[in-house]
Structure 1
């Protein structure tokens, strides 16, 4: 899923006044279709850059209640921090990546109770593989965190300002954005061998790659922001066996570009805030819009999928300065329910019972 670029956050916050979001701690809603094995869904809200107002919301599938500030309720003496950029669950722990605070908050995945804080400057995104958490930072490195000791055991040098990652075919692929170099973005994806924990190759892609996903057919999908008026945003598809670029299909991208894969299909938002569908099996565009009931978005910002139900979740950041929404759709693209989130809902993850 694409998180808001740091440079864009700075520009946005200079242009918009920060609003305080009034939230009730528990908000009744009426969704009626969770999977039995799921406990619920978390939404990480980035907040306003520089305002130290990131929140973690939780919708409980059993009680059908939304806790707007789940982390705050579990830890009254703590805040998540400034610009929560990513969140992931591995085992019994949840890792909250807080970009502008330069910290990783580790909490209990079910209760939200604080476990430990790990300092990492300008941390961005997290993935997991065999008892390690891998976290990108704008220091041009990927930090390796042992999920038992919760300590950083190694830092792997990659390209400039790395963003999202994906694990595929026992390799770690890292999108090197170079997004902080105005007019001079990076245009590579680093390949890291997960046995030696070293970079083995850089693959040239469209400029300013930020978002990634992998399908079941050996393909890595990389969405790039391009370079303003010089290079348009675009999609690069990489073969995970040869680590060579297979194609760069034409897609109508905007500047909020999360991407997810579910089964035979890949989903991403278009420039006009539709949710396009790409067929991973045929390697052809499938639909211009997954949404079939007329639901629209102002700023489609994050995507997630439940492989057990086929549900697709879409967040809408609205104006990036007031509360957003999370909408759940069934596998046929029809809305099931909508929840009110915090400011800039940038990541959605499911948690099991």
Structure 2
């Protein structure tokens, strides 16, 4: 990224967290647990986590009905709970008919029902650190913490159970074949992938990859890792690499700032942003994890405004393959651009400040 000040370099490292679609191990249950809802919601729902402006206590969750049966609700968390979500919404996932949100600055995780009514929360201590990213598996929530640990919480009660030390400032985390894989950015100075056996959850194996990694996802039994590639905010190379968990080696497949997966295809957006005038240029491509074929072609037909906007999120609806691309400027309300699986533009709708992650309820 070009013409970036130290302030923006630091701020954007915080903001560019995991933004690909987070829907893991949901029960196939058409009956929604909407108890306590102040509004009648349709069956199909999209929730957008908006990070908000850092330290402004204005994170929120936007509701969107993809079938247009209900108007957009700009902050359904506030509407349902009469309370602000907090400072710096960081990650959001769905699991077993509930929604979990990590709020970085406010240092807590909250459990919501499918109408975004808050049920429980766990507040982390200063020693435990601030939550970054989450994954759910076998009735547990695993969350990376700035203290250099991964915490395990009971998904039902949010009771804290245990922590395992990993690298410095762990970021994105996934589960694959009974193991947790997570990357450690070290605020720019770590270069390791950590692996933890879920069955024992007692120690981590650390493998050197590239410097300052941030995101990780699985596609076709392969791992894809994205990051900054250095600690020089003026010259981030933004590598996207394919990691082989068997040989524990990796190879670069291109550059990227955002990535998401659907049907074993990884979709990548690489952006170059000029913060002097807040404009961006974007390169899009996809990578088939089954055939190892890279397609150097835009997977969506971007409207003119999006072509120069700062992108903050890429998510894909796992049910129908629709793309949701978030754009914003980190200070005022952003927009979500929705596309069909074939890349055709559907519509744009307004959301909160800095759209960051999406959860899809069908």
TM-score, scaled relative to structure 2: 0.80
Question: Structure 1 residues 161 and 7, CA, compared in 2 at 3 Å: closer, same or farther?
Answer: farther
Change (3 A) 1:9 1:125: farther
Worse-superposed segment, 342-351 or 306-315: 306-315
Of residues 223-232 and 62-71 in structure 1, the stretch that sits farther from structure 2 once superposed is 223-232
Q: Is the 8 A contact 2:237 2:255 kept in 1?
A: no
Q: Pick from 313, 333, 343: which aligns with 2:353?
A: 343
Say if 1:203 and 1:243, in contact at 8 Å, map to a contact too. Answer: no
Residue 111 of structure 1: aligned partner: 115
Partners of 1:125 and 1:275 lie apart in 2 by 25
Residues 290 and 50 (structure 1), Cα distance of their counterparts in 2 relative to 1, 3 Å cut: same
How do 1:78-227 and structure 2 match up within 5 A?
A: 78-108=83-113, 110-120=114-124, 121-179=129-187, 185-216=189-220, 218-227=221-230
Contact 1:87 1:94 in 2 (8 A): yes
Distance 2:7 2:202 in 1: 29
Equivalent of residue 68 in structure 1, options 50, 66, 74: 74
54, 59, 69: which is aligned to 1:54? 59
| CA 190–334 in structure 1, closer or farther in 2 if over 3 Å, else same | same
CA distance in 1, matches of 2:9, 2:54: 6
TM-align CA RMSD: 2.1
Unaligned runs of 5+ in 1: 1-5, 13-36
**Distance in 2 of aligned mates of 1:307 and 1:151:** 29
State whether residues 145 and 151 of structure 1, in contact with CA within 8 Å, keep that contact through their aligned partners in structure 2: yes
Residues 144 and 303 of structure 1, relative CA distance in 2, 3 Å threshold: same
Kindly state the Cα deviation for residue 171 of structure 1 after the two structures are TM-superposed. 1.2
TM superposition shift of 1:207: 0.8
Alignment partner of 1:287 out of 285, 296, 307: 296
What is the distance in 2 between the residues matched to 1:275 and 1:105? 34
The CA deviation at 1:244 is 0.9
Structure-2 residue corresponding to 1:238 = 243
The range that moved more, 306-315 or 65-74, is 306-315
Q: Which moved more, 1:40-49 or 1:88-97?
A: 88-97
Give 1:307's match in structure 2, choosing from 318, 330, 348. 318
User: Is the CA contact 2:185–2:212 (under 8 Å) kept in the aligned structure 1?
Assistant: yes
What SS does the aligned partner of 1:270 have? strand
Residues 282 and 53 of structure 1, relative CA distance in 2, 3 Å threshold = same
1:56–1:69: 8 Å Cα contact kept in structure 2? yes
Write out per-residue CA displacement over residues 220-263 of structure 1, whole angstroms, 9 at most, x where no aligned residue.
000011222576221221123x15124222x233xxx2321111
Give the match for residue 28 of structure 1. Answer: none
Aligned-residue offset at 1:307: 2.6
Calculate the TM-score normalised by the size of structure 1: 0.82
Deviation (angstroms), 1:163: 0.5
Does 2:46 align with 1:41?
Answer: yes
Residue 51 to residue 333, structure 1, CA distance change in 2 (3 Å): same
Contact 1:292 1:332 in 2 (8 A): no
- Between the aligned partners of 2:229 and 2:335, the Cα distance in structure 1 is 28
